[in-house]
Structure 1
Amino acid sequence: SLWQVFRFLERTAHIEVGAGVPQTDGRAFILLEDIQNIFPDARHFLCKGRNVGFMMDRQGNNILPLRIHHLPGMTIDVVLAADTSPRLNAPQLYYHQQYQETPSTSQQETSSTPQQETVSIQQKDAISIHQQLQLQRFQPQQEDEHEYRRPHGPDVTPRRSRVSSGMNNRYIKSLTLFETFIKHIQDGQADQANLIRDDFRHHFDSLSVEMARNRALQQQMLEMQQTMLELQQQSLDRLAIIQSRVQAILVQNY
C-alpha cells in the first residue's frame, strides 16, 4: 500500500493512497473523505506553500467524490475551512497587561465578490493582530499584584517560569516574520511570502523544546502558523478566481 503524509500544525498522519482508476487516468489519489476522517474540517491543502487542488476530469470538472493527487515523498499541509479554524488572539505569553482592540480607520472598504469580502475581513483581523503584537512586544514582564509571599524564610510559592533571553529573542523574531508575511500577502508578493513562511518554520522548529515546556508559547506559535496558512490559501483562491476570469474572457474573444 501507498501512504501520503498530511500535517496540520504539528500533528501528522499517514493516509492510504487509492490506486489509479480510469476516471483519474491511472493517477493515484487520496479521497477528501479519508482525509476528513483524520482532520474533520480539512478543506484546502498546501505543498511547499503551493496549492494542491482537487483532481479534475478532462472537461475541467472536479472528480467526485473529491480527491487530490498523490505526491510521493512529500508532506501535504492541511488548511481548515475558514469558519471552523481557530482565530489568533493577541499573545499573552509573557505579559499580563491587556490592550483593547481599536478598529482601524485606515482600511478602505471595497465592493467585491463575497469570497473577496471574506478575504478582506480576515486580513483586517490579521492587521489588528499585527498592531497588538507591536504594542505588546516590548512590554516588561510584570509580577502578579496579589502573589503570596511568606514574611519570613525562603519563598516557596510556585512562580511562573521566566523565559531565557535567547528564547525571547527567537519569539520576537517569529513575530517580526509573521508581520512581514502579512505585509507580503497584502501586497500580493506570493514568492516573498513563501520565503518568509520558510524562515518562520525554521524559528518554529528552533522553539520546539521550549514549546514542549511552555503551553502558552506553543499555542501562540501554532496559531500564528495556522493564520499564515489560511492567509496564503486565501491569496491562492483569489489568484484562481482572477485566472478563471481571464480564461473566460480569452475564450469569449478568441
Structure 2
Amino acid sequence: MLLAIDAGNTNVVFALVQDREIRARWRIATDPRRTADEYAVWLSQLLQLEGYDRSDVTGVIIATVVPRALHNLQVLASKYFKTDAVIAGQGSAQWGFALDVDEPGNLGADRALNVIAGHALHEGDLLLIDFGTATTFDVVDYQGAYKGGIIAPGINLSLDALVTAAAKLPRIAISAPQGTSVVGRNTVDQMHIGIYWGYVAMIEGLVARLKAEVGRPSKVIATGGLAVLFERHTDVFDAIEPDLTIQGLAMLWQRSTQSGTHPGT
C-alpha cells in the first residue's frame, strides 16, 4: 500500500492509496520543525483507528512546496516505514510532461501533480483551478503540456488580510450565502458578500479570459478543499476532483515503479 504525502503551505496531507483508490486520508498543520518522531506517533494512531498498521505501507512518495519540511518526512519514511521515499519531480519521478513556460523549474509540485492527474482523467484542453493557500489557475493543452497560469490569493488569505488590516471588522467563517443578494444590510453580511461573491466574480472572470486566450474549448476542473464551496453558485466548473493532487502522486508512483529504478522496487 502506498503512503502519499502532499506537504503544502498550510497542511500536510497523508493518504493511503491502493490501486489508485484512496483508502484513508489525514491532514496536519504544516510545521517544518515537526520531527519524524512526532509525525510517526500521530500517524500510527490514525492508521490503527482505520484498521491499518505501519507494516501495511510498502512505499512512500512525497511532494512538497515547503523545502524545509522534506527532510523530516524522508526520515519518517526510512525510520518508521523502512523504505526510501520517492520525491515527486526528482529521479525516476520526473514530471514527464512538457513545461512550456519561462521558468519551468519554479512550478510547484502540487500544480505539477494536478497537471498529471488532470490530463490522465480528462481529455482535451484543461483549466485546472486549485483552491488552497493560494488559488491557482493552470492551463494544460490537449497533449498534456503545461502552458502557464495564474496565482491569486486564496480566499482564507484574503479574509485574513481584510480582518487584520481593518480593526473594526470581525473575523467571520467562510460559507456560501443563503441568498443571492449582493446588498448587505449589516457588516457581517457585507463581508460575506465581498469575500464570497467577489471570489466567484474573480473565478468566472479569469476563466472567461483564459478560455478566450486559449482559443479552443477547455474543460474547467476544480480541486482543493474549498472547491465545493463555490459549486452551488457558479456553473463555471465542468468537474470537481477533490483529490487531484493525491491522484497525481499515485500516478507518478506507479510510473516510477514501472521504470524499475526507485528504491521501492
Q: Could you tell me the TM-score, scaled by structure 2's length?
A: 0.28
Q: Which has the larger radius of gyration?
A: 1
- Relative to the length of structure 1, the TM-score reads 0.28
